[in-house]
């Protein structure tokens, strides 16, 4: 048997309070089917059957922690437009507060529209700004975290390179967390990759790590380990968790642990990384060691990949997967 009560641990996530700070997105899905090619240009014509709006980016991370029962505070920036209104409506439906959204009329709300036919992606259209936010926005975001800090159990930083997470704001966030003895878990992107020094858990994917180090890293255990050691010299995190697609997850803490990918049917990998960072944060806040947290996060990602589109992990699916594969 696995040396801890899995179901009770996952149920304990519902007692936690998590702040998610990062790039919030609105995901629009247009579903239909292709039966002809346009006579105007040689492109497929999608006959639309239905549309769907979902929370993306940092908001999808928040969906995952919220779905597992944790009280979740989503902090980020939006425009002042109809897409912000759509986000607010989705927040209300899913039980998230809009109180921690800072609006900036100079930028659009980040929105990604995906067009699918028979569950296959045809194209994606993005509305976004990648310019860094102003010092005023930085102060507002840091102020919100400062007000919440004493009630939190962990902080997640979710970076999609949309301009919110400047090096200045990153240092403020980590400083506030350190002052309040809060673990900080980071899902980075390339631009500010090395600005997260001293965080608790740093979770790049293999491609992000290789690109940022300027290396060609083949997806073998030995090459990944060598790259992790180079990264740890620069980032000095308590733990590294590197997601490796079909090869699973590698953890560097006291030593290396390689966790095979979950052996579950894959329909769509969208949002899997969001699930991993969310579950890692919950496990860390609940007092689990990083390897155990990563094993649970790995299975959580496997369960969400069974659905099309970015969806949050479901407690019952995660408990079932853990009981089947960790006991």
Residue among 85, 274, 289, 307 flagged as catalytic: 274
- Compute the distance between CA of residue 285 and CA of residue 71 in angstroms, rounded to an integer: 12
Is residue 105 one of the residues assigned to a domain?
A: no
**Residue with the two structure tokens 């979740």:** 72
CB atoms closer than 10 angstroms to residue 304: 28
Residues 6+ apart with CB under 8 A from 303: 262, 264, 313, 314, 317, 318, 321
Render 23-64 in DSSP notation, one character per residue: -EEEEEEEEEEEEEE-SSSSSEEEEEEEEEEEEEEHHHHHHH
Q: What is the pLDDT of residue 125?
A: 96
- pTM listed for this prediction: 0.91
CA distances from 286 to 18, 28, 133, 201, 260 (A): 11, 34, 33, 14, 23
CA distances from 262 to 111, 134, 302 (A): 30, 42, 5
193 phi and psi, to 5 degrees? Answer: -55, -40
Q: What is the pLDDT of residue 314?
A: 82
Q: What is the pLDDT of residue 312?
A: 78
Burial class (CB in 10 A: 0-12, 13-18, 19+), 327: exposed
Is residue 249 one of the residues assigned to a domain?
A: yes
* Number of domains, the chain: 1
CA distances from 213 to 185, 189, 232, 238, 308 (A): 20, 12, 11, 19, 32
Is residue 267 one of the residues assigned to a domain?
A: yes
- Compute the distance between CA of residue 65 and CA of residue 34 in angstroms, rounded to an integer: 36
- Compute the distance between CA of residue 243 and CA of residue 249 in angstroms, rounded to an integer: 5
Is residue 43 one of the residues assigned to a domain?
A: no
The kind and range of the H/E element at 113 are strand 111-117
Using the Cα atoms of residue 206, residue 209, residue 212 and residue 216 in order, give the sign of their dihedral. negative
Q: Is residue 72 helix, strand or coil?
A: strand
The verdict on whether 27 is a catalytic residue reads no
First-to-last alpha carbon distance for the chain, in angstroms, is 5
Read off the CATH number of the domain in which 162 is found: 3.40.1190.20
Is residue 125 one of the residues assigned to a domain?
A: no
Q: What is the pLDDT of residue 297?
A: 94
**Residue with the two structure tokens 């009770």:** 8
Q: What is the pLDDT of residue 127?
A: 95
Query: pLDDT (tens digit, 0 to 9) for every residue of the chain, 327 residues total?
Result: 444 588 889 999 999 999 999 999 999 999 999 989 999 999 999 999 999 999 999 999 999 999 999 999 999 999 999 999 999 999 999 999 999 999 999 999 999 999 999 878 899 999 999 999 999 999 999 999 999 999 999 999 999 999 999 999 999 999 999 999 999 999 999 889 999 999 999 999 999 999 999 999 999 999 999 999 999 999 999 999 999 988 999 999 999 999 998 765 554 455 678 999 999 999 999 999 999 999 999 999 888 765 555 667 788 888 888 888 776
Q: Is residue 151 helix, strand or coil?
A: helix
Q: Are the C-beta atoms of 32 and 117 separated by less than 8 Å? A: yes
Structure tokens at 206: 């293999």
Is residue 35 one of the residues assigned to a domain?
A: no
Is residue 289 one of the residues assigned to a domain?
A: yes
Closest CA to 137 of 61, 77, 62, 220: 77
- Compute the distance between CA of residue 317 and CA of residue 64 in angstroms, rounded to an integer: 13
CA distances from 87 to 78, 203, 313 (A): 9, 26, 20
- Compute the distance between CA of residue 240 and CA of residue 251 in angstroms, rounded to an integer: 6
Buried b (16+ CB within 10 A) or exposed e, 270-303: bbbbbbbbbbbbbbbbbebebbbbbbbbbbbbbb
Residues 6+ apart with CB under 8 A from 93: none
Is residue 198 one of the residues assigned to a domain?
A: yes
Q: What is the pLDDT of residue 32?
A: 95
* Domain ranges, residue 314: 6-23+66-75+130-325
């Amino acid at each position: 048997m696995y040396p801890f009560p899995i179901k009770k641990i996952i149920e304990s996530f519902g007692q936690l309070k998590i702040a998610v700070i990062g790039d919030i997105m609105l995901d629009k899905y247009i579903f239909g089917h292709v039966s002809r090619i346009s006579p105007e240009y040689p492109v497929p014509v999608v006959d639309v059957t239905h549309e769907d709006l979902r929370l993306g980016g940092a908001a999808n991370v928040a969906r995952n922690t919220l779905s597992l029962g944790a009280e979740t505070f989503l902090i980020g920036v939006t425009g002042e437009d109809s897409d912000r209104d759509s986000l607010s409506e989705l927040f209300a439906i899913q039980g998230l507060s809009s109180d921690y959204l800072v609006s900036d009329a100079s930028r659009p709300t980040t929105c990604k529209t995906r067009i699918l036919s028979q569950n296959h992606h045809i194209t994606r259209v993005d509305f976004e700004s990648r310019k860094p936010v102003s010092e005023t926005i930085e102060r507002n975001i840091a102020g919100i975290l400062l007000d919440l800090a004493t009630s939190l159990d962990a902080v997640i930083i979710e970076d999609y390179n949309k301009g919110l997470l400047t090096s200045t704001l990153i240092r403020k966030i980590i400083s506030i967390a350190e002052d309040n003895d809060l673990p900080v878990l980071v899902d980075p992107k390339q631009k500010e990759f090395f600005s997260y020094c001293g965080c608790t858990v740093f979770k790049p994917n293999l491609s992000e790590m290789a690109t940022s180090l300027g290396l060609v890293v083949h997806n073998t255990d030995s090459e990944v380990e060598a790259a992790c050691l180079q990264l740890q010299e620069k980032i000095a995190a308590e733990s590294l968790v590197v997601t490796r697609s079909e090869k699973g997850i590698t953890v560097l803490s006291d030593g290396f642990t390689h966790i095979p990918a979950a052996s579950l049917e894959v329909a769509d990998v969208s949002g899997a990384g969001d699930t991993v960072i969310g579950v890692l944060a919950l496990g860390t806040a609940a007092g689990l060691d990083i390897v155990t947290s990563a094993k649970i996060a790995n299975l959580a990602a496997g369960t969400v990949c069974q659905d099309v589109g970015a969806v949050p992990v479901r407690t019952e699916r995660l408990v079932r997967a853990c009981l089947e594969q960790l006991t």
